[in-house]
Amino acid sequence: MRAPAILRRVEHSFWCAGALLCGLCAGAYLEMRVYQAMENRRLEEALRDRSPRVLPAGPRRSPPRALGSLVGRLDIPRLRVSAIVLEGSDSRTLRVGVGRVPETANPGQAGNLVLSGHRDTFFRPLRKIRPGDRITLVTPAGGPYRYRVEWTAVVEPWDNASLKATPAPSLTLVTCYPFRYVGPAPQRFIVRARQMPPEGANTASD
């Protein structure tokens, strides 16, 4: 009779552990959705308060942002991606949004704006992205900034060539790879997009 009792206790322990893990996952998902909704509301309020114009892209100097503060919203219409972008690439920031990697370009500036996100949340649809896809970044202060995907690549974690500054305004998205890998993924998936002229500008070369 002792063995069945031990098995029942083990089974009970597994059920408790499973319930706890499900609760933690549900809590993390709820935190992410609530945070996204709150920041989307803040962004929409800021957009309503500013004058309806597109700020020119240029080497403007932006004041430093606090870690976790609102940068804007990233939209990839074909993939149905819409995610709030926050300042920083630490684990807390990436748990609730897409993060702007510090020391990279600001939206609209010359250089390379690098955004990082988790492959199992906001950037999971990137597995289906392709050259020519359009990306839009809306910020409280300027934009919308429009980009077109030029290429994608899979690189090793130590290969940071795609994160370096570029002569023209560019956008680089970074996430872990492979997308279906269980645990810490061994590689990185890179998406490089080129900034396009504002709506209404001369787009003969677009």
Q: What is the mean pLDDT of each run of 10 residues along the chain (206 residues)?
A: 57 50 50 76 77 47 78 96 94 93 92 95 95 96 91 95 93 95 90 88 50
What is the reported pLDDT for 206? 47
What is the reported pLDDT for 96? 92
What is the reported pLDDT for 30? 63
Peptide bond into 107 cis (omega under 30): no
Can you tell me the distance from the alpha carbon of 195 to that of 57, in angstroms, rounded to the nearest whole number? 9
Can you tell me the distance from the alpha carbon of 63 to that of 23, in angstroms, rounded to the nearest whole number? 39
- Please tell me the number of Cα atoms within 13 Å of 185 on its side-chain side: 18
What is the reported pLDDT for 111? 94
Which structural domains are found in the chain, ordered by start? 1-55+64-201 (2.40.260.10)
pTM of the predicted protein model: 0.77
Q: What is the 3-state secondary structure (H, E, C) of 87-150?
A: ECCCHHHHHHCEEECCCCCCCCCCCEEEEECCCCCCCHHHHHCCCCCEEEEECCCCCCEEEEEE
What is the reported pLDDT for 204? 47
Residue 96's φ and ψ, nearest 5 degrees, are: -120, -5
Instruction: Return the structure tokens found at 22.
Output: 């499900």
What is the reported pLDDT for 59? 42
Active-site residues, by number, are 118, 176
Tell me if 125 sits within 8 A of 80, measured CB to CB: yes
How crowded is residue 147: how many other Cβ atoms within 10 Å of its Cβ? 24
What radius of gyration, in Å, describes the C-alpha atoms of the chain? Answer: 21
